[in-house]
Amino acid sequence: MSDYTYSDPAGGTLTIEGDFKERLVLWQSQFTVTSQLSGRLPDSFSTRSFSVTHAQNHDEWLEDAKATLVGEYSLSGGSLQIWRPADQRNQGLARWVGEFHAAMAYLPFQQWKNHDFILGYFGDLQFKDSPSGLTAAPARSSLTVSVLDVTALIEGMGLLEIRPPSVGLGSVPAWAGHRVSAGEIWKVSDAENPDVTDHLLISSGTAVATVMPHDGVSFDSCLSFLSEIARLDYKGAAK
């Protein structure tokens, strides 16, 4: 029996248990931080976007971009780094790096020049890193941290993307799916070619997940993987 637990940026806990032989690796997450909407500015001005990855996940990208470290600050027991690309027409990168994970954001429009902006982008979050994941607690009650998805690589098979019900329920079909231990499974067709399966979707009582196979991997193999999940449980942070 395989057993995986991941702590998401909002303090929720994702648990996957099953009798599958494939290993889950490369856990990642996308999350947003939203401040109270004023009604005077577009909503996008009140939302910041981040990705959580393993600590060294973007090292190769930085090397390919020939990026230079132009700022480094201590924050929440880790290091907030600001990277400038060699070609200054391209985007840079800001990332908070802990022992196990990093929280990062790309910096378009030469925003890597404005350290005050970047310090403000990250500065009102309290990061807590652990082997099971990274949490980003807001320092002010007017901020809301929302998780968009959690993604893992199914080794040798494809990508598994898990979303909390608040995000994923809208993609669940209204008709009954194929019943398995963890919930129901559906084949989702390509929007432009209804005869072609685009991905598989599974819904449990607390999570919605999709599987996209690698080239050369059949959807039957992905179906077997999903059928062997005994528990797919996504609990939000305790209030």
pLDDT digits (tens, 9 = 90+) for 27-68: 999 999 998 766 555 555 689 999 999 999 999 999 999 999
Tokens of 79: 């290091």
Tokens of 167: 């995000």
Among the residue ranges 75-89, 100-114, 165-179, the one predicted with the least confidence is 165-179
For residue 52, give the nearest of 112, 7, 108 by alpha carbon.
7
Q: What is the DSSP letter of 37?
A: P
In this prediction the pTM is 0.90
Tokens of 136: 């980003």
Q: pLDDT grade, residue 184 (50/70/90)? A: very high
Residue 126 phi, psi (nearest 5): -105, 105
Q: Is residue 125 within 8 Å of residue 10, measured between CB atoms?
A: no
In sign, the C-alpha dihedral spanning 97, 102, 103, 104 is positive
4 burial level (CB within 10 Å; 0-12, 13-18, 19+):
middle
142 burial level (CB within 10 Å; 0-12, 13-18, 19+):
exposed
The three-state secondary structure class of 172 is: coil
Q: pLDDT grade, residue 142 (50/70/90)? A: confident
Q: pLDDT grade, residue 165 (50/70/90)? A: confident
